[in-house]
Structure 1
Amino acid sequence: MLLSSTAASAGFFSSFSQPQALPDGAQYQDGTWTGSPVRQYYGYVQAQAHVKNGKISSIDILRAPTDRRTSRYINSKALPMLEREIVMAQNTNVSYISGATLTSQAFLNSVHDALRKSLK
């Protein structure tokens, strides 16, 4: 997935950054927590985190770009991998998926927002 230099200079990447680490000793409150939709170059990504017994039990993908075949393919591969990594790590401090950098950034930011909302 290549982006033109015009896209880069137009500021499409400026709003992305690795989510800040959650505070040490932070505990998640049980429930279902919805992250904000995060706009990336090809559309919005939004996630929902499910917390049970203070642990991330699963992540739902509420929104991801689907209007391009390439987007559907990338999302079908990258998002399930990110979901598994987040549940195993119990936080959003996971690596981006190669070839899906924009999707990874947007997804991790949305999940991070959901988890921030769940902090006790």
Structure 2
Amino acid sequence: MRRAVLATTGISTLIVALLALKPHQLPALAGTAPRSAASSPPAGTSPGPATGTGMFTGDPVDTRYGTVQVAATLAKGRITAVRVLHAPDENGRDQEITSYALPRLTQEAIGAQSADIDAVSGASYTSQGYMQSLQSALDQAHA
């Protein structure tokens, strides 16, 4: 009887401790100031008609491992291509991560027609930078 009480108490304590843990959140990135609607598009943007046609350069996003910047090509408001302008490449590990993460992110963005895509496992910072830069390009296209 005494063992049952001790086991129940121990399990209850463990469950309470696990429930007290906060869920994992993606890291916040530096250099991501909100853009105002009245701001002019950055240099290197090729705005098209109001339908969102042309190439739109996203803002550079500084991440822990380097800057990420993309340019989105849209035709009639649909993403047809995403070109990576800057990505972390300081060392072999950065190059390895970007070589597998960026094609997946591009494929996801074109498939979803949005910057609201899943991050690539093992490339959280690069993924967040990619999504934020892509979103700024899409915001310009729809402005």
TM-score range normalised by the length of the shorter chain? 0.7 to 0.9
The list of structure 1 runs, each at least 4 consecutive aligned residues, that deviate by more than 2 angstroms after superposition, is 13-16
Taking the TM superposition and a 5 Å limit, the aligned residue runs for 1:1-120 are 13-15=27-29, 29-120=52-143
Deviation digits for residues 10-61 of structure 1 (CA, Å, limit 9, x no counterpart) = xxx4337xxxxxxxxxx86101000010000111000000001221000000
Structure 2: which 5+ runs fail to align? 1-26, 31-49
Distance (Å, rounded) in 2 between the aligned partners of 1:15 and 1:69: 22
Normalization by structure 1: what TM-score?
Answer: 0.77
Deviation at 1:93, TM superposition (A): 1.3
- Calculate the aligned-residue CA RMSD, in Å: 1.5
Structure 1: which 5+ runs fail to align? 1-12, 17-26
Normalization by structure 2: what TM-score?
Answer: 0.65
Give the number of equivalent residue pairs. Answer: 98
Which has the larger helix fraction? 2
Distance (Å, rounded) in 2 between the aligned partners of 1:94 and 1:28: 23
Deviation at 1:67, TM superposition (A): 1.3
Q: Which structure is richer in relative contact order (CA contacts within 8 A, separation 6 or more)? A: 1
Identity of aligned residues (%): 34
